[in-house]
Amino acid sequence: MTTKRERAAEEDLGWRNFEDLLQTLSPAQMQEPGYTPEGWSVKDLMAHVGCWMAEAGRELQRMRVGTYEDRPLHVDAMNREFYEANVDLPLPMIRAELFSSRIRMLQEWNALSDVTSDAEDWFVESGSNHYREHVPRLQEWAEELRAGG
């Protein structure tokens, strides 16, 4: 079984890869549509990742205080809601929310005395696995943007 510390290290490595790619882009490039066929920008991706980390932070807190309920997730509907809630927000706000939601997720992860499989799933799926899912396309899109795109 992977330890809590090892999971945190995996998350940190994934975050550094994700953040390093973000750092290669200008604010204008981050707002350029085209990351997805639906027209998401990197800013939209940042909001998406941040929202899932915020969800993870909330669910990990519920686990810690004993109010967690395992319920079905409607991922596509949640993704649409996250997009609609954030699409018109300015980049600095999205960036702040991305960083703060990650910090909260990490705080709640570290505060858990008992890591259940549900806790591990939320942390891994909203952190390291989520970065791994999006980094390849982010790398491609960043290269396209830097090449004039």
- pLDDT tens digits, one per residue of 57-99: 999 999 999 999 999 999 999 999 999 999 999 999 999 999 9
Q: What is the 3-state secondary structure (H, E, C) of 86-142?
A: HCCCCHHHHHHHHHHHHHHHHHHHHHCCCCCHHHHHHHHHHCHHHHHHHHHHHHHHH
pLDDT score recorded for residue 148? 83
Query: What average pLDDT does the segment 104-121 reach?
Result: 97
pLDDT surpasses 90 at 18: yes
Distance CA 45, CA 62 (A): 26
The answer to whether the CB of 118 falls within 8 A of the CB of 68 is: yes
Give the burial class of 125: count Cβ atoms within 10 A of its Cβ; 0-12 exposed, 13-18 middle, 19 or more buried: middle
The pLDDT confidence band at residue 1, using thresholds 50, 70 and 90, is low
The pLDDT confidence band at residue 2, using thresholds 50, 70 and 90, is confident
Nearest C-alpha neighbor of 53 from the set 128, 147, 146, 149: 128
**What are the boundaries of each domain within the chain?**
4-30+56-146
In this prediction the pTM is 0.95
Nearest C-alpha neighbor of 135 from the set 23, 14, 27: 14
